[in-house]
Amino acid sequence: MARIKTISVTLCAVILTTFTFIATPQAVASEHARPAAVHKSNTAASAKVKKKSAPAKKTASKSIKSSTADKKKRTTVKKRTTTSSSTPVTARQRTASRTLSRTASVSASAACRKNRSAKQRAACLQTRSAKGVTIADAHKIRVQKAQKTAMSKLMQQIGKPYRWGGNSPRTGFDCSGLVWYAYKDLVKFRIPRTANEMYHLRDASPVDRGALETGDLVFFRTQGRGTADHVGVYMGNGKFIQSPSSGQGIQVTSLSEDYWKRHYVGARRVMTSSTIR
């Protein structure tokens, strides 16, 4: 009995050892297999995360592009607003430059008039024109000043009596004497003493009735003597100043009156840039 027990004990020990030898490689294999499975699971998870993050990156890039496009639009809008706001400034600058050129032309003509001789005045105007003042503007200013001087002399004689052959404020004027008094010191040529001679004056240029300017001479034939026997000075706005006849003083009359419309024969311009002193 004791031998049987020992044999059974040994058999049990052998069986146990064989089971341990068989189970041990499986455990080792399972232990080696666990990290691989963990690694696979980690890679699968990272792949899922990448797939999810890819749309996020696309949306982020789209948002960046949209923000840059918005910035470009804003800059273009700013440029447009700045250009539109700069337009009035340039217009102001242009008007300022024009006013400066006008004042410069006035001062230039005033400075050139101080010279006594015609040659000195012409040379002065040429030098001034080289500095930005045109000769045409200077001539125009000179003519306008001469016209104002003539109108001032004529208006001071309003109400003075008519006198045949008179040409002085002390004695009175006839029609041609009034014109002679107003222009004798303003033009280079000699002013004739009768209305008919003034009408045929070579230094005066004919003017249409629709193109009359201040200072032009207007002629009438009232008594049928010669081409013209009466003269007045156009003042603008369809009116002229005259010394009409005996018993009436120097007055301003409208050209549209029937009497003067019927007897009107023409007009002459005596004050131009080439004829004034």
Positions marked catalytic: 175, 230, 242
Cα distances from 170 to residues 17, 158, 163, 173, in angstroms, run 165, 13, 11, 9
47's CB contacts (< 8 A; 6+ apart) are none
Residue found by looking up tokens 């100043």 in the block = 241
CA distance 228 to 265: 7
Q: How many CB atoms lie within 10 A of CB 263?
A: 16
Cβ 227 vs Cβ 221: under 8 Å: yes
Query: How many Å is the Cα radius of gyration of the chain?
Result: 56
CA distance 166 to 246: 12
